[in-house]
Each structure stands twice: as C-alpha cells, then as structure tokens.
Structure 1
Amino acid sequence: MVAIEVKSVDELRLMRRAGLVVAEGLRAMCAAAVKGATTGDLDAIGREVLARAGARSSFLGYGAEYGAPFPAVACISVNEELVHGIPGERRLVDGDVVSIDFGAIVQGWHGDAARTVIVGPADPLDEALVDATRGAFWSGARAAVEGNRVSDVSKAIEGYVKGLPRRYGTLREYTGHGIGTEMHMAPDVPNWYRPRPTPRLRPGMAIAIEPMLTLGTHQTLELDDEWTVVSRDGARGSHWENTVAVTSGGAWVLTEPDGGASGLGDLFAPLAD
C-alpha cells in the first residue's frame, strides 16, 4: 500500500493558509459568475486573488510533463462540461451551471476546492443537483476521521447519493485524492464504494474530497483540448470539493472560511486557526 504523507501541526496550519486563499478565490469567482461574464473573466479574478495573497497557482502549468500544460489558474466547466474546463471567451447566460475548481500554494503547501453555482434564475433540477453534490461532500467529510478508512469516506458519499429521491450519475474515472506538498498524492478517494483494503486515516493526513455528479449517467468523454471532460449523454454536472485534514479530535476543512464548523458539527476539530 502506498505511503501517505502525514503532516505536522505547523504544516497543516500552512495548508490552512493556502486553503483560505482558495476559499477567497472561489468566493470572488462565484460572485462574478453572472450573465455576460466570460469564463476568462472568472479566471482573471482568481489570478488577482493569488497575486494579492502572494500565493502560486496549483493549476497553472499542471501536466506540462505530459505535453499539455493547463493554461489557467482555475478549471471552469459549464453545463455538460464536468471537470477541467479551460477558461476563455465563453460568455455565461442565465441558467448556466458553472463549476469552478481552484488551487493555491503557500510556502510549498497546496489547497484545492471546487464550487458549483447557477447563473441567474435556476432550474429546480439544477438546484437539486448542486444541493446533492454539496450534501455528498459533507457526508464524506464527516467520515474523514481518525480510525476510519478511505473506503468509509467513499461509502458515505455513495450512501448519501443513493438515498436521494432522484438518481444521479457519479463520475468514476475522476476521484478525490491526497494533498499536501503536491496537489495530487496518495490516496485516491473514490466517490463510490468498492469492497477492498484501503488506508486507515490518522491525524496529520489531508485529503481532497470531491463528489462529481450528473443529471444523467457517469460516462464521460475528453475533448480534443486534452483537458475538458464532458458527459457522454450531454447531461449537466456539478462538482463540490474541499481539502479536509484529519485531526486528533475529528476533521478540519481547510478550504472553508469557518473550517467546516457548520457542516461537521461535533466532528469539527480545528488546530489553532
């Protein structure tokens, strides 16, 4: 089994600093996701937030070793684009479902999170989709505690989604992940449960939990830009992600302004914030 990076208290505090930069960037970009704005406009706001904080982007240039470096600081995916959308000249219109994924590096430590917002008046089906994805995240986060296994996080996410009144597709090729000195590290954190041995969680570990749901099936295609992932059936999707640290008393959501207090309840256990 692959070794998982375990952080000290001070290292988790540095990750919290990166997480707060991510939270501010997402807040600003979500607020700017209005009719008439372009996805490139949103990315420019993310760049400004990073510059003000003296932070670096986790995304810009990512994948260069494979020949297709990501050209932006945020992945912005609209409607049937599910993840890894490249910002550009696309202009938002009322009803668009916009997923924004953003990462920051502070003193070598990463934070990573994603939010989905709806432009203008929302279709009830789209609202329910976003609510379902957010709820699935919090179900997984409440399972990210000492003594549980990574598979318990996956089981909690899957159980939440299966318990909803409407059926959703859960992306399978794309998962959550460990995070710390790199954006993507061991372990993988799938959003569905597979009965197999997985690592046990312990204080100092950090994982990015990120349910990705669609109004259709889980099947996807990658576009010719080598990044943008779309639903094979054209269904709209939603993405909700946070970086979660395991502490001795529970969990700490490093990319939520309140540290996850509102969603974790008794399991909220921050270090000095």
Structure 2
Amino acid sequence: MAPRRYCRARLGGQSRWFLDRGDHLLDLQSAVDGDDVPALLRHLADTDVTWAPPGGAVQVDPARVEWQVPVPRPGKVICLGLNYAAHAAEGGNAPPEYPALFLRAATSLIAHDAPLIRPRASDRLDFEAELAVVIGRRARHLDAAQALSAVAGYACFNDGTLRDYQRRTSQWTVGKNFDGTGAFGPWLVPAADLPPGATGLSIESRLNGQVMQRDNTGHMMVSVTQALVLLSEVFTLEPGDVIAMGTPAGVGYARTPPVFMKAGDRIEVEIEGLGVLANTVEDET
C-alpha cells in the first residue's frame, strides 16, 4: 500500500491539513485544525489509524492551495553534516568520528513551491537533498530499541547553503541560516508507512531537470536510530522538532566547474515514498 502523505497548506485564509489523493487533496479541517500540529503528530504515531474525518472530507484541487512547511516554526532544527561517505570525500573530508552537528533557525525555512532566496551577500548558493525526521513525542536518553518510537514522520528537505559563508568560520551555522534557504515538505509521511528509520529509500536532487545527486538513505553513516540516541543524550527532543540527516555526494561546490544556483533555476528534491519538494530560485530584493 502506498504511504499516506499529509500536507499543511493555506486555503481560504486558513492553515489546514490535507491528505494526498493523487489528483486531489482531502481537506481534513473537520478532523484537526491546521495550526494544531501536536494533534496531527499524535495521529501519525497511531499505526492503526486510517483517517476518516467526521462527515467525510472535501476534495480540493492542489492548484488552489498555498503550501506551508509541515511544522510551523519548529523548536529545533538539528542538522547532520558529512553523513554520506561519498559526500565527505568529495569535499576532502574524512568521515567524522562523531557526527558534525549544527542548528538551523525557523526563519530560514520555506515551503514547497515558495521562492528559494539567493541573498544579496553571496552568489554561492548550493543545494543539498536530505531526509527530514519529525519528532512526535517528548524524549530524552533514548536507547536503540526505543529510539524510532519518538518519530512521527518523514519529509524532504533542501539544506540550501551559502558556501563562502559556511567557510568563514569553523562553525557552519552562518552559511546555513540565510532567510529563505531551507526548503521543507511538501508531504509529511507517517513513520509507520515507511521502512524503519526510513532506510533503503532512493534520494536525489535535480537542478533544472538534471540529476545532480542520487543515492540511497541506506548509505547514511549515522542512521536515524543512531542520531536519535546521540541527540537525546544532549537535547530533550520535543514534538515538532526536525532532524535533517545530511546530504549525498553531487553538491554544486564539489563539481568542476562549481555549480551554484541562480535566479530562475528550479531545484527539486525527491525521496522514494516522500514525493518531490520543488522550489524556484529568486534573488533577494
């Protein structure tokens, strides 16, 4: 059975949850409010539920909605770097003994089909296709046996990076947090509908239709389970927190010559079962 795919979008001035039905969306407003993210996450954690809103659901043309990020203003966006061996190698890095970790601010996030902003400060905007993990319950000190029970679902992520700013300090934060550079969505897929830890899924990015990155989530050096164990040793993970699991080889800066995104480019991230996250690049005004 195909994975259930939920999205959060605006219709008629309101944020709503929708369920993907291929050529249309089911409006789930009668079941849960669009701003009630915890309610949606609780639903995703229920492996036996097929959502049947009271009184049925209204069918909506996807062209009528304005896409929104699946989790509005998450408390934490925790990102792993150098999590695919081939990506580490293309940048001249050895695989880290401990995951390379950094945080993203909520102000950097954008939804599917929103403009991906190339800032005035730099023309070195790069793409990074990533698997995003969305936390469904409060968790601390997880062990490997229970770690995945903290996951509500998965989504596509594009960790857009200003490479020159990333390298201005030993910490990557500044290059990873320009406004409008972190695309997230459009679909949130329940963890129960995917292989444990979302392993074994094809992942790729396409720039103007050309495949730039292609790999498999089974090649992540730190798995979702391992990441949750390590992170919950440090943080209290909370519902709606997001973990971006790192990117495969093929990014723009490592190419000869380098390929950076420019205004008018269309960048797509596709993960098996999670759909396609697509954004068009615009210059900051």
TM normalised by structure 1 equals 0.24
Relative to total residues, which structure has the larger strand share, 1 or 2?
2
Larger radius of gyration: 2
Return the structure number with greater relative CO, CA threshold 8 A, min gap 6: 2
Bigger helix fraction: 1
